[in-house]
Structure 1
Amino acid sequence: MTDLKIRGLDLHFDGHNGDHLLLYIRTNKNTVYLTGIGTHSDLF
């Protein structure tokens, strides 16, 4: 696990454009780690 990539999904609640992100790391086909969820300003 020397080459981990953090990925993000832009979340839209109730059809609205928001600035919420879900950040995760996928280590293999069966394991996903949630690394953060919140607004852009909270996470970065």
Structure 2
Amino acid sequence: MSGGSLWAPLSIEQQEYTLTLHKFLSSSLAVMSEIVAFSGQMLDA
């Protein structure tokens, strides 16, 4: 993990947790935008 990060070196557990949290948040965001787009189509119809 290079790239001048501000984090102190994370433990394996913290890396796993951060990665899982990031995946969860990005997938939730994708689902939310899908729902919003679908709702918009239903309202337009």
TM-score by length of 1: 0.23
Q: Which of these two proteins has the greater Rg computed from alpha carbons?
A: 2
Q: TM-score, normalised by structure 2?
A: 0.22
Q: Which has the higher strand share?
A: 1
